[in-house]
Structure 1
């Protein structure tokens, strides 16, 4: 069998479940351990037959290696699943030399300031946008002074082992009052870039503190923690 060319990770979000079907142009292999920077599990409910995989994802993640191209991914409950896809580095047909694959992840968010005492949690919409790459959105409610784990894989990049590649993450924050609070204000927003360097065998943690402008005279700050590391298949 030839080497796998792609991977698919289906990450379950919160409570609930979703059935899914993956179809490819070649064989599909269910794997455990880590894939695409995420821990993945195997279970008897997930079935693979040649180029088709059928399964159910709950609160963890299911991972597959694809020997060929990805034809389709069907989800019963798309709101419950975050789909991560990428190529697997080091293939014989790769004409870029000796490469590693580096994943950029948003690991944690810290709401430093932006809400007055007793005003409750705010709704935060966070966009992690890698220039020249992909972006991911995260939505959550968080009171001032609190921290929340994210664990979101944003994008994967092939990087020469003998070099490095600069990238920029633009973190965009939209902050708004929950509708059931005493009043609903217009959303407050902020955006801040941070430069990162992708390199093999060089794990890093980078933070980006985003100032939030407010038309109510109550500016805030949100800090997002990112990690950059090799994929461990």
Structure 2
């Protein structure tokens, strides 16, 4: 699967030892397109990817993958859930959820709370946004599903959640301080029959000398259990 990253684009060429088949639908939790600009001839595929993803089924091995702009493409290889010949009885559905956020540190004594906007971004999947007010020392429930993935029962699939925090100033401080921000990735593993809780502690920079820190709790669960 050729996953386009950001706004840039890249031409690519795939060469295999056997035939290549263009596929659509959803691979590894990511929608893939079947546009006319992607050409397959025997054991060679040529195309351009940007902003979306192109999916292929390769019979045999991969001889080479050439990328015009490697910074704009993430290449995924191997057995990926959602291929055209998958037996859905051998797959489970795994959901990733953001459950709660905990105040760790930050803010002056006069403010008393963090005004947060939280983005939960699964690379190769969906993202969700949460807005809430987090008082000093408190924990607040989030309780949102970020994305669901089909995962082979005989294997697992790695993913990365990037937690992005924006701490907004209250209205009375709009002219004295800019929003404070922080971002932190955390690696997760999707697998059947393996419920997990993962935490991500995100530092929040500050232009006023009072940096903060919050901890976000995620759960990963098999919906088929």
Contact kept, 8 Å, 1:37 with 1:232, in 2: the verdict is no
Q: Quickly say closer, same or farther: Cα 1:161–1:10, change in 2 above 3 A.
A: closer
117-126 or 30-39, larger mean C-alpha shift: 30-39
Match of 2:109 in 1: 117
Residues 115-164 of structure 1: CA deviation (Å, up to 9, x unaligned): 11232322100000000000000001112211001111000000000000
Secondary structure of the equivalent of 2:171?
coil
Q: How many angstroms does 1:176 deviate by?
A: 1.6
CA deviation profile, 1:30-63 (whole Å, cap 9, x unmatched): 9999999999999999999999999999999999
Say whether the 8 Å CA contact 1:36–1:84 is kept in structure 2. Answer: no
Comparing 42-51 and 138-147, the one that deviates more: 42-51
Which structure 2 residue ranges, 5 or more long, are not aligned?
none
When structure 1 is superposed on structure 2, of 218-227 and 32-41 the one drifting more is 32-41
Equivalent position of 1:79 in the other structure: 71
Runs ≥4 in structure 1, deviation > 3 angstroms?
9-97, 180-184
Q: Residues 26 and 66 of structure 1 are in contact (CA less than 8 Å); yes or no, is this contact kept in structure 2?
A: yes
- Mapped contact 1:89–1:99 kept (Cα < 8 A): yes
How many residue pairs match? The answer is 225
In 2, Cα distance between the equivalents of 1:23 and 1:50?
A: 9
Pairwise CA distance, 1:183: 6.3
In the TM superposition, residue 180 of structure 1 has moved relative to its aligned partner by 3.9
In our comparison, the structure showing a higher alpha carbon Rg is: 2
Q: Name the CA shift for 1:108/1:75 in 2 (closer, same or farther; >3 Å).
A: farther
Gaps of 5+ in 1: 1-8
Q: In 2, Cα distance between the equivalents of 1:154 and 1:100? A: 17
> Hey, what's the Cα distance between the residues in 2 that align with 1:73 and 1:222?
41
Residues 74 and 229 (structure 1 numbering): CA distance in 2 closer, same or farther, change over 3 Å? farther
- 2:90 corresponds to which residue? 98
Please tell me whether the aligned partners of residues 37 and 231 of structure 1 are also in contact (alpha carbons under 8 angstroms). Answer: no
Q: Aligned to 1:15, what secondary structure does the other structure show?
A: coil
- Relative to the length of structure 1, the TM-score reads 0.58
- DSSP 3-state at the match of 1:221: strand
Distance 1:156 1:111, change over 3 A: same
CA contact (8 A) 1:18 1:58 kept: yes
CA distance in 2, matches of 1:141, 1:14: 30
**Structure 2 vs 1, CA of residues 15 and 99 (structure 1 numbering), >3 Å: closer, same or farther?**
closer
Q: Distance in 1 between matches of 2:72 and 2:114?
A: 22
Q: Which residue of 1 aligns with 2:51?
A: 59
